[in-house]
Structure 1
Amino acid sequence: MNIRTIGLDLAKNVFQIHGVDEHGKVVLRKQVARSSLAACFANLPPCLVGMEACGSAHFWARKLAALGHEVKLMAPQFVKPYVKGSTTDAADAEAICEAVSRPNMRFVPVKLAEQQALLAVHRARAGFVKARTAQANQLRGLLAEFGIVIPVGLASLRQRLPMVLEDSNNGLPGMMRELVTRLADHLRVLDQQVAELEKQIQLWHRQSEPSQRLAAIPGIGPITATALVASIGDARSFANGRQLAAWLGLVPRQHSSGGKPVLLGISKRGDVYLRTLLIHGARAVISHIERRCDQAESWLKRLLSRRNRNISAVALANKNARIVWVLLAHDRQYGVPAPLAA
């Protein structure tokens, strides 16, 4: 069986395989159970295997690469145009097999297990932060029903909660006091979870030289730097800094026709988490620079004079993404000119 290219449609239990030879003729079309997938590919000659970048894709990519196959991952939206007719497992596997053989297809780098583990810590921390915000808002809303209004912000809530519970004249019933105590304890547990996960991220940051280089960029701290290093991997897989910014969804969408370029808002493609961290970091830089009079002639100050803060924040995030590519792709230090770095 002379198989040159295989399209593998991933699933939870049953996987669909579509293989073709060097002439594009179908030579393999079958369903394989999860327990038999590794053994099936171990009995096949080394070939090009295409998969969509979805759940468990990086795990199977590492698994099949260890068996001698060349594995390439693609974004699902790039595979969709190759689906013929209705969506089925067989049609999806055939479309993946067709898409992976296209010379201009864009591929997703395969992540290492360590990268996935660090990103899992980031996702868990983000989940705890979201739950903490929801718990604080619920506490504030419940107390407002009894006429106790607490200003927005976790610091204000933590400061005012003990005083609310100690005040016996605020009209809170005993059942409500017990509920507020329970919710406050839950809020402290969430705070502890966030702090412990941030310690893990800080430890990884101190042991990673690329992450420390990225943290020198204004608007990028240890949280953003570690997330960028773990998500990007090898920055040389991007041709330039603009490709990295486009991968993060920080470049304008285009609706150009007839030789007339029309630029819209940012594309918002790629990783929402990374884009959010970069934009929040840019907002922090803008808040800092607005209070500095000695940087009146800086690029960001001039941008703020003609654009609003949101547009300026996205522009700075885009600029920082390009700087990130330069530092990672060329092993440079932030603020050091290229001749001195060489």
Structure 2
Amino acid sequence: MDQIIRIGMDTSKHFFQLHGVDAAERPVLRRKLRRNEVLAFFAKLPPTVIGIEACGAGHYWARELRKLGHEVKLMAPQHVKAYIKRNKNDGRDAEGLCEAMSRPTMQFVSVKTEEQQAALMLIGVRQQLIARRTQLGNAIRGYATEFGLITAKGLDKLEPLLARIAQEERLPELAREMFAAHGREYARLQAELKAIEARLMAWYRANADSRRLAKIPGIGPIGATALVMKAPDPRLFPSGRHFAAWIGLTPKDHSTAGKTRIGKITRAGDEMLRSVLVAGATAVIQQARKSRGRASPWLLALLARKSPKLAAVALANKIARIAWKLLVTGESYDGARMPDASALAA
């Protein structure tokens, strides 16, 4: 077999498709492997460059193949799609991966360590618990409404509602039993959520970058921890604008023939980080509208010409740029520079 300089590997649950080329870009390897054959095959292969999509288990395979001496490059699936020919199949997917990784402008995803992925589980489990708590709270309110028991919105109103239901003797016994079961489930979720958040706060206190980011208005401990955990090496981004675009805080651009057409932000990027930053920016705007004397002149000028929702996205974009600057330079946040345009770290 000729010397293989690059291999594209299309992964799946059971079968992995390989496509390798030599120095002349001629295909010299087309092979399908079972999952349990992959490591044994690459252990016998001279060190080479392997391209994998950054999808499920992608980071695991990157770590394992690196242990065998290979260089592994992870790519976002949307960046690989343009290199896949018509009539999609596993072979063409592997060929597209092999071609995409050869492009000089291709952007690669940093391989996460096991410790990083374990830390990310904290954020993921917290989101799942919050979603289940919201679902359960809505169910309790909905069932209670059927019996004429209405309460105001808010998590702090649920426990008084459950206590009121427990004392409501006119309710059928079966309904009271079901409400009691919901109440026990809600209490369990609250306890689990507090335990997870305690672990997150411990991680936050132990991480210097998280503590520095939390000093930025609009970023709290949870947002700072999520930024450090989920964002790749900030030095991979040429500027703060690219970092904000990676999160998904830049508008859709569909410009041609010298005409600029800027749309709204899309679902591209990291949804969790985007929602956290926009929520934090919304809180900053609410405070600014209450106390205009202490608000940033830049923010007041923005609110004068944009709606609060658009201003929140713009401020979230600015916060992301400041966060990138602090992560790259190791500096601490200086509130005195907030009105200055240099704080954008463009």
Could you state the TM-score of these two structures normalised by the residue count of structure 2? 0.94
**Per-residue deviation, residues 251-304 of structure 1 (Å, max 9, x unmatched):** 011111111111110133111111111111111212222221422553222212
What secondary structure is seen at the aligned counterpart in 2 of 1:290? helix
1:167 CA drift (Å): 3.2
Name the counterpart of 2:24: 23
The match for 1:261 is 260
Q: Which amino acid aligns with 1:220?
A: I
> What residue in structure 2 maps to residue 102 of structure 1?
103
CA gap of 1:49–1:95, structure 2 versus 1, over 3 A, is same
- For residues 296 and 227 of structure 2, the distance between their equivalents in structure 1, rounded to whole angstroms, comes to 30
Bigger Cα displacement from structure 2, 70-79 vs 125-134: 70-79
Moved more, 282-291 or 19-28: 282-291
What is the alpha-carbon distance in structure 2 between the residues aligned to residue 203 and residue 145 of structure 1? Answer: 42
Question: Cα deviation per residue 1:71-112 (whole Å; 9 max; x = unaligned)?
Answer: 111111111121122121111001100111011112111112
Distance 1:296 1:333 in 2: 20
Aligned residues of 2:8 and 2:94 also touching (Cα < 8 A): yes
In the other structure, the counterpart of 2:121 is: 120
Q: How do 1:1-342 and structure 2 match up within 5 A?
A: 1=1, 2-168=3-169, 171-296=170-295, 298-335=297-334
The runs of 4+ residues in structure 1 deviating greater than 6 Å are none
Deviation at 1:64, TM superposition (A): 1.2
CA shift, 1:336, in A, is 7.6
Identity of aligned residues (%): 45
Equivalent residues of 1:236, 1:329 under 8 A apart: yes
Q: Cα RMSD over matched residues?
A: 1.5
Paired residue secondary structure (1:332): coil
- Give the conservation status (yes or no) of the 8 Å contact 1:295–1:301: no
Q: Specify the SS of the correspondent of 1:151.
A: coil
Kindly indicate whether the alpha-carbon contact (under 8 Å) linking 1:18 and 1:97 is maintained by their aligned counterparts in 2: yes
Q: Pick which of 96-105 and 81-90 moved more.
A: 81-90
SS at match of 1:27: strand
Structure 2 gap ranges (5+)? 338-346
Q: Distance in 2 between matches of 1:120 and 1:188?
A: 22
2-structure distance, mates of 1:279, 1:111: 26
Find the aligned partners of 1:293 and 1:51 in 2 and give their Cα distance. Answer: 51
Distance 1:221 1:299 in 2: 21
Distance, in Å, in 1 between the alignment partners of 2:184 and 2:211 is 35
In structure 2, C-alpha distance between the alignment counterparts of 1:297 and 1:219, rounded to whole Å: 13
- Cα deviation code 1:153-181 (max 9, x no counterpart): 1111122321232133xx31111111111
Distance 1:124 1:102 in 2: 37
Q: Hey, what's the Cα distance between the residues in 1 that align with 2:110 and 2:26?
A: 28
- C-alpha separation in 2, matches of 1:177 and 1:290: 45
TM-score, normalised relative to structure 1:
0.95
After superposition, the Cα gap between the structure-2 partners of 1:132 and 1:59, relative to the gap in structure 1 and judged at 3 Å, is: same
**Counterpart code for 2:219:** I
How many matched pairs? 336
